[in-house]
Amino acid sequence: MNVHQSHETVAGDALAILERLGVPASALGDKGLAARSPIDGKLVGHVVENSAEEMTAAIGKAHAAYMAWRQVPPPRRGELVRLLGDELRAAKEDLGRLVTLEAGKILSEGLGEVQEMIDICDFAVGMSRQLYGLTIATERSGHRMMETWHPAGVCGIITAFNFPVAVWSWNAALALVCGDSVIWKPSEKAPLTALAVQAIFDRAAARFGDAPDGLALLLQGGRALGETLVDDHRVAIVSATGSTRMGREVGPRVAARFGRSILELGGNNAAIVAPTADLDLALRGIAFAAMGTAGQRCTSLRRLFIHESVADSFVAKLARVYGSVAIGDPRDRGTLIGPLIDKAAFDNMEAALAEARSLGGTVHGGGRAREDLGEAAFYARPAVVEMPDQAGPVLRETFAPILYVMRYTDLEEVITSHNAVPQGLASSIFTLDLREAETFMSAAGSDCGIVNVNIGPSGAEIGGAFGGEKETGGGRESGSDAWRGYMRRATNTINYSRALPLAQGVTFDI
């Protein structure tokens, strides 16, 4: 049930937060990018839009900042990120709420996203003392071989609306300790949270004292701005999060100039519910993964393979949960499903459901909900769709709360179906059978970058490397050794002998 609470207007709420977080009034104007809230579909304000020329100038500035920053000892660079984490802790309530206002996610998820930023800052601070290389056995006596990791340059960060602040921080926190400078081009659908984060970063930089100017820049605008960033040879790394369509354009453009890209693109994540699964736990795990964030995570659960022996009762329970879940204003306590980001997202959901029906799917749920919350606000009823097989929309990522359910009999066969989609981000199996769990995690199991057991595919912690295979783009961000993606490696061979032996036994006597 929805608990109705009275709220001030979304716009008033958002503008007050921006002021408290120190966003300068000059960042907002009468024209530029329209900032809307999906909660009521109304305009919050306009954000000053940057030109391609401004982007080119910013890249020059960021490059100069990198030239200075790369000389700063990494643990000192970590101190800046420590201060960023400190400022984020102080801003958590406000920034989390702003994420709710701008992206429409429920309050606990808005706060969770800011926590994810704090976590990656802590991780990066530790990492700043561990940017280590190997010492490697050499075939020549009196020699030593080792590798050194150096800052790579300017890192361009392109982010999506659905994690409007955390994805910047996964990249920025690591890039900054690695000695890179960063330029951020956020989604046009989330310009306000970006302004807030930049103000928070600027405060951390002021406390730090001698960070070079232009170390972390924010530029707002559309496609042309992104293209300028992507095509500039001074941008050593482009880390882009968004659709596979976007990645298909960004990847080759960066490659054409021999730049490096880190791509985190679409997912079409699945879960398998095996006969031995703890079904209550599976139900809860699946509900969060499929309906949380209104299905608008790249890790959202979209496909469910359920063993025929447990399918009937499980699908009935799932349909009941789907029918009773609270949809509404994400600021209300008790709401679990907030709005979709815009009308286009709702239309895509409806189109996918219509296509699923035409392919023999049985749809439970779907359709518009909570029209009382605004003509231009698009709340959708989550949908469970029983599909005869994996076809049509099941093979695509639709950024909406649709869960396609298919039955299976044999684990090996279902793993083949599981992997038979173009995307390869996140996956999970619910089973208490060790053989099944290990098979799913083995080389012959899931082909995804994230493979979970007895939890859903979404909601990863920052300590692990995050990303996926195939059309998901292959990039890894966040934890583990993802930091290496933000540095360049030098292999050093040092001769401390008086002789000059050549490798591979080559002789060259002059």
Instruction: Give the nearest distance from C-beta 116 to ligand UN1 in angstroms.
Output: 6
Q: DSSP string spanning 494-507?
A: EE-SSS-PPGGG--
Q: How far is the CB of 241 from ligand UN1 (least distance, A)?
A: 6
Measured from the CB of residue 170, what is the shortest distance to ligand UN1 in angstroms?
A: 9
Q: Residues 14, 98, 337, 460: which binds ligand UN1 (CB under 6 A)?
A: 460
Minimum distance, C-beta of residue 239 to ligand UN1, in the bound complex (Å): 12
Does position 299 interact with ligand UN1 (CB under 6 A)? The reply is yes
Residue 187 interacts with ligand UN1 (CB under 6 A): yes or no = no
Q: Which distant-in-sequence residues (6+ apart) come within 8 Å of 354 by Cβ?
A: none
Count the residues in the chain.
Answer: 510
Catalytic residue among 264, 397, 471, 477: 264
Write down the least CB distance from residue 1 to ligand UN1, Å.
27
Q: Is-catalytic flag, 264? A: yes
The smaller minimum CB distance to ligand UN1, of residues 232 and 477, is found at 477
CA torsion, points 285, 288, 291, 297, in degrees to nearest 10?
Answer: -110
The Cα 205–Cα 190 span in angstroms is 23
Interface with ligand UN1 includes 239 (CB under 6 A)?
no
Got the DSSP string for 91-158?
HHHHHHHHHHHHH---HHHHHHHHHHHHHHHHHHHHHTT-----EE--SSTTEEEEEEEEE--EEEEE
Considering only 34-42, 177-185, 382-390, 454-462, which stretch makes contact with ligand UN1 by CB under 6 A?
A: 454-462
What are the C-alpha distances in Å from 157 to residues 210, 218, 219, 264, 477?
A: 23, 9, 10, 11, 12
Interface pattern 27-66 for ligand UN1 (x via CB under 6 A): ----------------------------------------
Q: Which of 123, 163, 184, 378 binds ligand UN1 (CB under 6 A)?
A: 163
The answer to whether the beta carbons of residues 141 and 497 sit under 8 Å apart is yes
Please name the amino acid found at residue 496. Y
Asked if 330 touches ligand UN1 (CB under 6 A), the answer is no
Question: What's phi and psi for 465, nearest 5 deg?
Answer: -70, 140
Could you tell me the CA-to-CA distances from 158 to 86, 187, 271 in Å, in that order? 24, 7, 29
How would DSSP label each residue in 435-470? Answer: HHHHHHHSTTS--SSEEEESS-S----TTSEE--EE
When the beta carbons of 228 and 241 are compared against ligand UN1, the nearer one is 241
CB of 342 to ligand UN1, least distance (A): 17
How far, in Å, CA of 474 to CA of 485, rounded? 12
Kindly indicate which of the ranges 88-96, 196-204, 439-447, 456-464 contains the residues binding ligand UN1, using the contact rule CB under 6 A.
456-464
Indicate whether 242 belongs to the interface with ligand UN1 (CB under 6 A).
no
**Given the complex with ligand UN1, which of 162 and 439 has the nearer CB atom?**
162
Tokens 């040092």, residue located: 494
Q: Does 241 bind ligand UN1 (CB under 6 A)?
A: yes
Q: Enumerate the active-site residues.
A: 264
Footprint of ligand UN1 on this chain (CB under 6 A)? 116, 162-163, 167, 241, 297-299, 458-460
